[in-house]
Amino acid sequence: MDEYNRLLERARSMIPEDAFKRSGERFQVPEVQVMIQGNRTFWQNFQEIIMVLNRKGKEVLKYMAGQLATAGTVEGSTAVFNGAFPRSLIQEVLERYIEAYVRCPVCTRPDTTIVKDKNAYYLQCSACGAKTSIRPI
């Protein structure tokens, strides 16, 4: 019995400690910082967030502008939208983007990339290996 426990202990010690938990902790998306000026909305930490998401700014901007039904541009590290949109709305649309285009629907990890195969788009997960069909942005 002692021998069994020792083996069990040893096996456990060889598994990276909380491998999954660590992956989850790494994925902390900062809250969006938004400033409205006149009839334009400045998403100030746009660059920082797309780095965390590991997505192209162009793709995220296209999705956001489409959802907000307006035009958007990137100025430096800031995304700028025509129209006045509250912070809560930008946050909500970003979360929808993360659910649809960042999180793996199988294991819910964010370790994914978007791959194009012929004319279809997939979310390829490097955590569990799942390949999920997604709508093009």
> Cα–Cα distance between 87 and 83 in angstroms, integer?
12
Q: Min. distance of Cβ 111 from Zn ion in angstroms?
A: 7
- Quote the least distance from Cβ 124 to Zn ion, whole Å: 9
| 134 lines the binding site for Zn ion (CB under 5 A) | no
- Is 89 or 106 the residue whose CB approaches Zn ion more closely? 106
104 forms part of the interface with Zn ion (CB under 5 A) = yes
Q: Is 128 in the site for Zn ion (CB under 5 A)?
A: yes
Q: Return the C-alpha torsion angle 117, 118, 120, 124, nearest 10.
A: 0
Pairing of strands 34-37, 40-43: antiparallel
Regarding 102 and contact with Zn ion (CB under 5 A), the answer is: no
Q: Torsion-angle region of residue 21: left (phi > 0), alpha (psi -120 to 50) or beta?
A: alpha
Four-CA torsion 33, 38, 40, 46, nearest 10 degrees: -20
Question: Would you count residue 107 as binding Zn ion (CB under 5 A)?
Answer: yes
Q: Residue 127 interacts with Zn ion (CB under 5 A)?
A: yes
Residues in the site for Zn ion, rule: CB under 5 A? 104, 106-107, 125, 127-128, 130
